[in-house]
Amino acid sequence: MSTFQAPKGTYDLTPPRSATFLAVREAISAPLRDSGYGYIETPGFENVELFARGVGESTDIVTKEMYTLTTKGGDQLALRPEGTASVLRAALEANLHKAGNLPVKLWYSGSYYRYERPQAGRYRHFSQVGAEAIGTEDPALDAELIILADQAYRSLGLRRFRILLNSLGDKECRPVYREALQTFLRDLDLDEETRRRIEINPLRVLDDKRADVQKQLTDAPKLRDYLCDACKAYHEEVRALLTAAGVAFEDDEKLVRGLDYYTRTTFEFVHDGLGSQSAVGGGGRYDGLSEMIGGPELPSVGWALGVDRTVLALEAESVELDLPATTSVYAVPLGEEARRVLFGVVTELRLAGIAADFAFGGRGLKGAMKSANRSGARYTLVAGERDLAEGVVQLKDMESGEQSAVPLAEAAAELAKRLG
């Protein structure tokens, strides 16, 4: 071990587990790529104001969890704590919304940073795959995104996840509810910090995990009773489309989410095998965010799924992903001459699109065969001086154990044929 370790709240992805992470990113993005979402990549840091305005000054993410820094040039930056504000900023900057093709559908995959108290499933550096559909108000778009996330999780073989669904209302009805809730909350017996929260973000109080707080909330006014007719109809349509698609969900009126930009549809994917950090993904509609960051009115919806927690969910369900071996052919040279010849064959195989690896470092037959086994290769090529003198290599089928001599000049073609 070196003197250094990964910083607190972070961990490294190393083989073989790292292959599962790649497969999860692939599985989550595949349904998006097949549904008209284009790939977007934005910087790992942004102007700190973007998140303060976008995610919200009253959220834990902005007040407690952002990694901020001042550059030598005096710019105030923050490592991105989430992707939505960045993606919308980038779409506006590139004028994607003006190309006359709404919604602008984008997907992304990357690292995010939050200075949280680390625990199982909660890290300071984590990874999300996300999707944003910008510029269109249509319940089918909300439904599409939820269905695609459901499809992604199912394709991975996950079963013990649930979809929680809620509507947070819009700029017409939510303020009315907010006030009614504040009036109710101000009369309760609560600590100072919670009292402060009533004034900045009363909906978050509903989210309080403490039993004594929850007990007092039984008779709190319900957002459902305050939704305006337009919000109600919109929500009913999302629910109907999900039901028609055979996607099961649970109505959860306590679902408020930790970011301020949400309006109307909000949802979370939770997994029952993960303990307290059970949200494997979440998202919703954010019809006002564009205007909050200085853009035009662009009603939008999106989600982000946590890759780390999705991997933990797979492990909790003991799902083994069917990860094909990365190497098909492993070459084992015995001696200097064979090393040159087989290295040439390996290069030829790779150019032909066959995944091949080589026993580097002039190791003995036994050690090299061990590596060949570990690589998962279907075939091994072995050649020593005598083989070369006869113009052949030994081709071993690692599944059946059968071995046969193949003319050196035909080795690559023979392997291509056998590997189909």
Closest chain position to ligand HAM (CB): 306
Residues 228-287 that bind ligand HAM (CB under 6 A): 258-259, 279-284, 286
Binding of ligand HAM by 51 (CB under 6 A)? no
* Size of residue set near ligand HAM by CB under 6 A: 26
Compute how many other C-beta atoms are within 10 angstroms of the C-beta atom of residue 266. 24
Among 135, 139, 288, 302, interactor with ligand HAM by CB under 6 A? 302
SS3 404: strand
Q: Which is nearer to ligand HAM, 8 or 215 (CB)?
A: 8
Q: Which is nearer to ligand HAM, 46 or 387 (CB)?
A: 46
Q: Which is nearer to ligand HAM, 156 or 279 (CB)?
A: 279
Per-residue mark of binding to ligand HAM, 73-92 (x: CB under 6 A): ---------xxx--------
Q: Of 115-123, 182-190, 197-205, 352-360, which segment contacts ligand HAM by CB under 6 A?
A: 115-123
CB half-sphere exposure, 107, CA atoms < 13 A: 20
Minimum distance from CB of 46 to ligand HAM (Å)?
A: 13
Minimum distance from CB of 366 to ligand HAM (Å)?
A: 43
Minimum distance from CB of 371 to ligand HAM (Å)?
A: 35
Among 128, 201, 265, 371, interactor with ligand HAM by CB under 6 A? 128
Binding of ligand HAM by 122 (CB under 6 A)? yes
> Hey, what are 153's tokens?
């999780």
> Distance between CA atoms of 389 and 409, rounded to whole angstroms?
13
For 125-272, strand residue ranges (E) read 125-134, 161-167, 250-251, 263-271
Binding of ligand HAM by 137 (CB under 6 A)? no
Among 108, 123, 226, 267, interactor with ligand HAM by CB under 6 A? 123
Among 54, 110, 130, 333, interactor with ligand HAM by CB under 6 A? 130
Binding of ligand HAM by 110 (CB under 6 A)? no
Residue among 90, 8, 1 nearest 43 (CA): 90
Q: Of 67-75, 123-131, 136-144, 343-351, which segment contacts ligand HAM by CB under 6 A?
A: 123-131
Q: Which is nearer to ligand HAM, 122 or 222 (CB)?
A: 122
Beta bridge pairs of residue 404: 395
SS3 56: coil
Minimum distance from CB of 217 to ligand HAM (Å)?
A: 22
Binding of ligand HAM by 132 (CB under 6 A)? yes
Q: Of 102-110, 306-314, 360-368, 377-385, which segment contacts ligand HAM by CB under 6 A?
A: 306-314
- Residues binding ligand HAM (CB under 6 A): 82-84, 114, 116, 122-123, 126, 128, 130, 132, 258-259, 279-284, 286, 302-304, 306, 308-309
